[in-house]
């Protein structure tokens, strides 16, 4: 049988094809489901086809797979996206990575084997059928979405009415962030503005919170949670007014090992006061605990309350999101100035999945630190939460 490589495109006969999906861990794979999203001209989405629906051209056959009759596809349909997604989305206790390997076998045609280890998405476009002249082709994009099906909805400006899934019980991924603090207590962190009314921070800053307030260059104002990714520790908040400034991401290249960085945030507010703090350091490694490639290490001093703050390069562009110090990731280990941040590329992927268009710029000349601090005040946010 032909082995289909991720990213490969192949001619496929116009006719009926049976697509079988399976996972290396069948128990975990049972927590995933499939849907088919038809796209019209201009990538306009038609209503999604779900396992509980009826369609002449696409039929979900329990225990067998998905039967796709390309000859019966309506002429206005240009593409068919076969989507595999985690039931319950990013908040579910499993992820695409939990399956370890996904196999998509097109009976009599070929087989795609996708290694999902380290993939942090909650949905992916596994297979695509698309028209080419008078015939059809098959592609294996393996395009992932951290936010799950909502990310696909945002990418194609559509709504997919999945069956309701109740929130996961105790023991879900939020348990990684510890038990809820005492009722009535408070906490906080940092964040930065990525769009006129949108602020990004860490998931662990807002998890378990009943009230969230954000201060950007003024008094705190109520905020609501828009999207959250507990796997990568990212959250998106919305406030009711435009912020004075918007941070721009570094657009042309990744941060390099040894490069200088400047971190802004609100550490130790109960001791150091509620004003912003700036600290400088350098990138000391391009991976995190256990080789996590979505994380970078940096030496700029941080403290409790720094979480969610921006990591800037010397021209003031965002290259990461402050996450934690070593002792929070590796218990019983003590070290100084070994801190971790979520890489900007992962933050941008999360924001793209949430439908947020970020600003990007090419690095310019290095700014004096005082000037960078002055500019950062326009997009730096203080996060206050109540439990």
Q: Collapse the DSSP code of 243 into the 3-class scheme (helix H, G, I; strand E, B; otherwise coil) and give the result.
A: coil
Residue 333: per-residue pLDDT? 46
CA–CA separation, 82 vs 33, rounded Å?
11
Q: Does residue 331 carry a pLDDT above 90?
A: no
- CA distances 363 to 6, 249, 279, 300, Å, are 33, 9, 20, 20
Read off the pLDDT band of 359 (50, 70, 90). Answer: very high
Q: Who has greater pLDDT, 227 or 164?
A: 227
Q: Does residue 352 carry a pLDDT above 70?
A: yes
* Nearest C-alpha neighbor of 196 from the set 356, 312, 42, 58: 356
Residue 105: per-residue pLDDT? 96
Residue 332: per-residue pLDDT? 45
Mean pLDDT over 301-320 rounds to 91
Q: List the structure tokens of 264.
A: 């802004």
- CA distances 152 to 49, 136, 311, Å, are 14, 23, 28
Read off the pLDDT band of 182 (50, 70, 90). Answer: confident
Buried b / exposed e over 243-281, threshold 16 CB at 10 Å, is bebbbbbbeeeebeeeebbbbbbbbebeeeeeebbbbbb
Residue 336: per-residue pLDDT? 61
- Contact, 103 vs 110, CB < 8 A? no
Q: Which of 88-92, 127-131, 246-250, 334-338 has the weakest average pLDDT?
A: 334-338
Q: Which residues contact 197 (CB under 8 A, 6 or more apart)?
A: 238, 239, 240, 241, 242, 243
- Domains assigned to the chain: 2-155 (2.60.60.30), 184-387 (2.40.10.120)
Q: Collapse the DSSP code of 336 into the 3-class scheme (helix H, G, I; strand E, B; otherwise coil) and give the result.
A: coil
- Give the global pTM: 0.58
Give the residue carrying structure tokens 């390309």: 70
Mean pLDDT over 65-79 rounds to 95
Residue 163: per-residue pLDDT? 74
Q: Does residue 345 carry a pLDDT above 70?
A: yes
User: Residues 9-66: pLDDT tens digits?
Assistant: 999 999 999 999 999 988 889 889 999 999 999 989 999 999 887 788 999 988 789 9
User: Residues 221-250: pLDDT tens digits?
Assistant: 999 998 888 878 899 999 999 999 999 999
Which percentage of the chain shows pLDDT scores above 90?
A: 53
CA–CA separation, 98 vs 118, rounded Å?
9
CA–CA separation, 108 vs 106, rounded Å?
6
User: Residues 131-155: pLDDT tens digits?
Assistant: 999 999 999 998 888 778 888 888 8
Q: List the structure tokens of 5.
A: 């490589």
Q: Which of 116-125, 271-280, 376-385 has the weakest average pLDDT?
A: 271-280
Residue 369: per-residue pLDDT? 92
Q: Does residue 196 carry a pLDDT above 80?
A: yes
């Amino acid at each position: 049988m032909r082995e289909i490589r991720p990213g490969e495109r192949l001619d496929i006969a116009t006719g009926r094809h049976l697509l079988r999906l399976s996972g290396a861990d069948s128990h975990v794979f049972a927590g995933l489901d499939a849907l088919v999203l038809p796209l019209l001209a201009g990538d306009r989405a038609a209503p999604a086809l779900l396992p509980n629906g009826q369609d002449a051209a696409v039929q979900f056959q329990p225990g067998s797979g998905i039967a796709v009759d390309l000859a019966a596809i309506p002429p206005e349909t240009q593409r068919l996206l076969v989507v595999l997604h985690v039931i319950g989305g990013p908040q579910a206790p499993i992820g695409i990575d939990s399956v370890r390997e996904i196999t998509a076998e097109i009976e009599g045609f070929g087989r795609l084997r996708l290694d999902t280890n380290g993939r942090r998405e909650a949905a992916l476009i596994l297979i695509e059928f698309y028209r080419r002249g008078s015939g059809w082709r098959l592609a294996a994009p393996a395009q992932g979405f951290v936010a799950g099906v909502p990310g696909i909805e945002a990418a194609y400006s559509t709504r997919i009415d999945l069956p309701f899934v109740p929130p996961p019980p105790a023991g879900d991924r939020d348990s990684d962030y510890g038990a809820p603090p005492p009722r009535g207590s408070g906490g906080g962190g940092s964040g930065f503005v990525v769009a006129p009314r949108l602020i990004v921070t860490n998931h662990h800053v807002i998890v378990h919170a009943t009230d969230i307030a954000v201060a950007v260059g003024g008094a705190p104002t109520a905020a609501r949670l828009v999207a959250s990714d507990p796997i990568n520790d990212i959250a998106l908040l919305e406030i009711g007014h435009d912020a004075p400034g918007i941070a721009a991401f570094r657009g042309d290249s990744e941060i390099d090992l040894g490069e200088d960085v400047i971190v802004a945030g609100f550490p130790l507010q109960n001791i150091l006061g509620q004003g912003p703090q700036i600290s400088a350091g350098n990138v000391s490694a391009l991976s995190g605990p256990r080789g996590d490639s979505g994380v970078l290490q940096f030496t700029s001093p941080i403290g409790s309350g720094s979480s969610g703050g921006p990591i800037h390069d010397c021209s003031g562009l965002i290259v990461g999101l402050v996450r934690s110090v070593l002792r929070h990731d590796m218990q019983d280990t003590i070290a100084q100035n070994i801190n971790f941040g979520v890489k900007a590329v992962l933050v941008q992927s999360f924001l793209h999945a949430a439908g947020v268009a970020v600003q990007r710029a090419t690095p310019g000349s290095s700014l004096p630190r005082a000037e960078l601090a002055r500019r950062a005040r326009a997009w730096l946010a203080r996060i206050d939460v109540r439990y």
